[in-house]
A and B are shown apart, each in its own frame.
Chain A
Amino acid sequence: MARDEVRKILPADIKREVLIRDESAETNPKWGFPPEKRPMEMHMQFGIINLDKPPGPTSHEVVAWIKRLFNLSKAGHGGTLDPKVSGILPVALERATRVVQALLPAGKEYVALMHLHDDVPEEKINAVMREFEGEIIQRPPLRSAVKRRLRTRKVYYIDVLEIDGRDVLFRVGVEAGTYIRSLIHHLGLALGVGAHMAELRRTRSGPFKEDETLVTLHDLLDYYHFWKEDGVEEYFRKAIQPMEKAVEHLPKVWIRDSAVAAVTYGADLAVPGVVKLNKGIKPGDLVAVMTLKDELVALGKAKMSSQEMLNKGKGIAVDVDKVFMPREWYPKMW
């Protein structure tokens, strides 16, 4: 059991070192809105819900309900869950809607119930399931929007939790885009008896986990009422996470105050604007551009490696793709 505990690691869990480019840079406390300083309405405009999706509706229906119940014009979810599946469905709101693009490539974890079509000794089940850790080959399902060619996906870990006759309960950590139904079908073939997925629940999507931030639709709606009708905002505030939560797992580049406005006006990030950054960034990587107050400014593609950003005097460090911070938060300084 202890061995299984330490193996439950997704790439999002690996700590990144911070490299400092300018020791002396400071941020003006008058500018910006760090998450804890956002008024409730603004907190919602730049918020993301760690929602516990109930079985039944499609992910799309759940987003439509949330928009209607909370009078929102925009919302989007990070990674579809099929109707019968429950669990973690991050839903980004209003001006944070597109932050879900940071979650689509993130690792996922599920708890699944596999039903075997005949009896198999427990030792064999355990042995075969262990063999599925690592690279597996999958073809997207028939009704998938993804082009149906064979592709490989990583299974980071499989932990068998319980075996009850032909029912096998297990936890599995996978690369984005891995189909658990198909994984179980192949496990059934490898075990020689066939198998199908009886039940599925997502327990993790990148930085979103089953913790005190996970909220059901019932709680969410009640907390919204407490805010709107009873003037008690603390519960709804806690039910919504700042958009910064959705980039926790991404490599980051922190920039000086004088560079923030330029980026919000669509400028790419030049090296002199960089104050500090995570180690290990490669050109082409999705990175989060942050203020020195740890506010999310934008998402972009790295144009240089971390070493180059650290050592070069000029050049474009990040090709800015999607800006989240409003232009008024930091003054124009160019």
Chain B
Amino acid sequence: MKVLVSVKRVVDYNVKVRVNADNSGVDLSNAKMSMNPFCEIAVEEAIRLKEKGIANEVVVVSVGPKAAQDTLRTALALGADRGILVETEEQVESLGVAKVLQKVVQEEQPGLVILGKQAIDSDNNQTGQMLAALTGMGQGTFASEVLVDGESVAVTREIDGGLQTVSLKLPAIVTTDLRLNEPRYASLPNIMKAKKKPLETKTPESLGVDVKPRVKVLKVEAPEARKAGVQVNSVAELVGKLKAEAGVI
């Protein structure tokens, strides 16, 4: 079975972003970028499926600027076999990415597609579900366990009250939650080897997809800052303040 994994290049999760003074967006000019943490988990799961002999090829795909090549190389260094970059300088939103991925799925015919549950920049949590809709496949979102068994896959999902397990007919779409696995690090020899692995470049136009945004961002502002708090020195003082000043107990 072929496994397709979609990865996104985002600002590193440890960076505290700043909003541009003109409210046009956030300032990413010198920010460290890396692979979205949920995508790392998706890549790891695909590689584990390969190590178990369930997957015979892992293809990684990214939609984004030329620099997203680095993100694909990272995935190749972790163990993916080849990469596809759908290059565009536009900010592509979830629906656009899902449409691009639908075309890639059509061409590649994977048995399973794995995505992260959300990207930590837009926090949308949409692409996997939209891809499932467009391809007419079943979806196992927020997965904390994935067990492929013949023609179906059992996905344990993190839902509000606990866990739910569903069985999906393959091919299917899975989106990863944090607890699915612990992603590995790339070793230096593998990083060198990844440079030789095939990386194909396409464009949304060559795939016949219109990625013009539907959701328009009119402005981006910094969140309201909280009023500075006070340090208390004892439990008694804390209880006193909560009762008298804050009135919450």
Bound pair (A, B): no
Binding site for A on B (CB under 8 A): none
